[in-house]
Amino acid sequence: MLSFLMFRPKVSFNMAFLGLLAATFLLVAPVMAQPKPSKPLKIVALGDSLTAGYQLANGEAYPDVLQKALVARGIQAVVANAGVSGDTTSGGLARLDFSVPDGTDAVLLELGANDMMRGVDPEIPRANLTKIILKLKERHIPVMLFGIPAWSNAGPDYAKQFNAIYPDLALVYQVPLYPFFLEGLIGNRDMMLADGIHPSAAGVREMVKLTLPHVEAFLSKLPAKP
């Protein structure tokens, strides 16, 4: 009888210890099994007033609205607004290293409209955009190109030369192209500001709606982030 009484506490202790160990494992195991959250994509929208959000309120510019749309689609991304109103391709090239910092995962390149509106020789924006693309490729930063066709009053010869820039560069350097950044907006008063050149807040939302599938396709091909 004495040996039996001495043995029971030992069994009770072992059972309690095992129960405590199992409970601890159940609490720790889910934490250990959780994957680390991936870092958001760092995207830079490099452009002019169409990117900068000319005369729009904070949060209404294309990069801001695009970021919200991407996040809503489950794509964790931060879209930096590197648009400068009035900027030409020459200006974009000059500030490229400053505007696109190290660690950038992708660039949305929208420049050339001001070159066209000022009647700059098409060979100049062609050369500048080429240099921008090559510099970014050297840094292993993927690029998506957004085009702006020449206005109708630019003249047929000028328009022919200028309009060839974007598809030519997209083909030669194998970068995705959205041919007309203002697709569906020109002539629509509800989508444009009074100047007829810049998109309104509603216009930006339409731009994001139309470009989003193309941007998503571009981002889906980026290398996976650790």
What are the structural domains, with CATH classification, of the chain?
A: 41-220 (3.40.50.1110)
Average pLDDT over residues 46-51: 98
Question: Is 121 marked active-site?
Answer: no
Task: Note whether 178 and 146 are within 8 A (CB).
Answer: yes
pLDDT tier, 224 (very low <50, low <70, confident <90, very high otherwise): confident
Catalytic residue among 49, 64, 105, 200: 49
Average pLDDT over residues 208-213: 98
pLDDT tier, 194 (very low <50, low <70, confident <90, very high otherwise): very high
pLDDT tier, 25 (very low <50, low <70, confident <90, very high otherwise): very low
Residue 36 has pLDDT above 90, yes or no: no
Q: Percentage of the chain surpassing pLDDT 90?
A: 77
Give the up-direction half-sphere exposure of residue 67: CA atoms within 13 A in the CB hemisphere.
18
Average pLDDT, the chain: 88
Name which of 97, 73, 117 is nearest 215 in CA terms: 73
Average pLDDT over residues 129-133: 98
Task: Note whether 101 and 140 are within 8 A (CB).
Answer: no
pLDDT tier, 187 (very low <50, low <70, confident <90, very high otherwise): confident
Catalytic residue among 102, 157, 190, 195: 195
**Helix, strand or coil, per DSSP, at residue 75:** coil
First-to-last C-alpha distance (Å) of the chain: 64
Beta carbons within 8 Å of 184's beta carbon, 6+ residues apart: 191, 206, 210
Amino acid at 107: V
pLDDT of residue 20: 47
pLDDT tier, 14 (very low <50, low <70, confident <90, very high otherwise): low
Residue keyed to tokens 């005369």: 55
Question: Is 140 marked active-site?
Answer: no
217-to-80, 93, 197 alpha-carbon distances in Å? 19, 26, 28
Average pLDDT over residues 126-141: 98
Residue keyed to tokens 């009035």: 86
Which own/partner pairs from 134-137 qualify as long-range (CB within 8 Å, at least 24 positions apart)?
134/173, 135/96, 135/97, 136/96, 136/100, 136/107, 137/173
Catalytic residue among 64, 87, 105, 198: 198
Question: Is 198 marked active-site?
Answer: yes
Residue 119 has pLDDT above 90, yes or no: yes
DSSP state of 185: T
